[in-house]
Amino acid sequence: MQVEYINPFIISAIEIFEKVANIELKKSNLQIKKSTAPSNEISIIIGITGNFEGQVVYSFKQHTAQRIVSCMMPDASQERQTAYMESAISSLANMITGRATVLLAGKEKVIYITPPYVAIGMNNKDAQFLELPTISVEFTSRFGTLEINVVIKPK
Amino acid sequence: MATILLADDISFIKMVQKEVLEKQGYEVVGEASDGIEVIEKYKKLKPDVVIMDITMPKMDGLNAMKAILRLDSNARIIVCSALGQYQLIIDAIKAGAKDFVVKPFDPKRLALAIEKALK
């Protein structure tokens, strides 16, 4: 996987968090891992198809996800925020990935993404991660960290 | 009052769209979570406008839009997707979408797209 393919995800994550949740993200670490398996207990998995193929896995700690959602729905009750938590963080992952595909596709290519799959727990047996060299980016925010694991290549 | 059918697999997005559209005086008459469901609900509800995501299970939004337009060539469908890629926008408009609104959407932009579609 070429390192340049990670930049659209970094740019998009910073932009979408700012726009949708008014949260400033700062890139704090970048490393190569052996698979897309996440480091945190709540993860959102999105597949990539079309002129590129791969997988993106976003992960947060539970309390970080809750606080992000509270920023996305500031006027909602805590009950309502909890009810929408998985869906709200799925929408963030969808928008970050979607925005990144716009940057990757240019004018000629078409890239599709799969509906987000939310996996709860570190040993979730239904979650399918790719055992391939993965670029892992960690961001910090005032509410904790976000990890984005990306495997992507042109088809 | 114009009636709207929302199609998106993410319930949070539909909740935000519904709040925004109802504040602007539109009536959300139905919601669908996949491409098959939106076709069925279109037949039943005959809404004035459909707000259609692209990435959905069972059938994607572009194919669902084509299926609805085969049933009703006057259907007004606005695509609202995070996949704001040049080629997908061109494909959607060529296939009959009235407009393409990129997520995260600006409420005013969505309202303008609906107004334009209703004219």
Nearest to A115 among B12, B55, B86 (CB): B55
Q: Does B9 touch chain A (CB under 8 A)?
A: yes
Q: Are A98 and B84 an interchain contact pair (Cβ–Cβ within 8 Å)? A: yes
Say what the pLDDT of residue B65 is. Answer: 98
Q: Does B81 touch chain A (CB under 8 A)?
A: yes
Per-residue 3-state assignment (H helix, E strand, C coil) for chain A: CCHHHHHHHHHHHHHHHHHHHCCCCEEEEEEEECCCCCCCCEEEEEEEEECEEEEEEEEECHHHHHHHHHHHCCCCCHHHHHHCHHHHHHHHHHHHHHHHHHHHHCCCCCEEECCCEEEECCCCCCCCCCCCCEEEEEEEECCEEEEEEEEEEEC
Give me chain B's average pLDDT, please: 97
Say what the pLDDT of residue A1 is. Answer: 65
Residue tagged 């700062």 (tokens):
A26
Say what the pLDDT of residue B78 is. Answer: 98
| % chain B with pLDDT above 90 | 98
Domain coordinates of chain A in residue numbers? 3-154
User: What CATH number belongs to A3-154?
Assistant: 3.40.1550.10
Say what the pLDDT of residue A124 is. Answer: 78
Q: Are A115 and B13 an interchain contact pair (Cβ–Cβ within 8 Å)? A: no
Show which of residues 34-63 on chain B sit within 8 Å of chain A, judged by CB atoms. Answer: 54-57, 60
The pLDDT tens digits for A44-88 are 999 999 999 999 999 999 999 999 999 999 999 999 999 999 999
Using 70 as the pLDDT threshold, list the residues of chain A that sit under it: 1
The pLDDT tens digits for B64-113 are 999 999 999 999 999 999 999 999 999 999 999 999 999 999 999 999 99
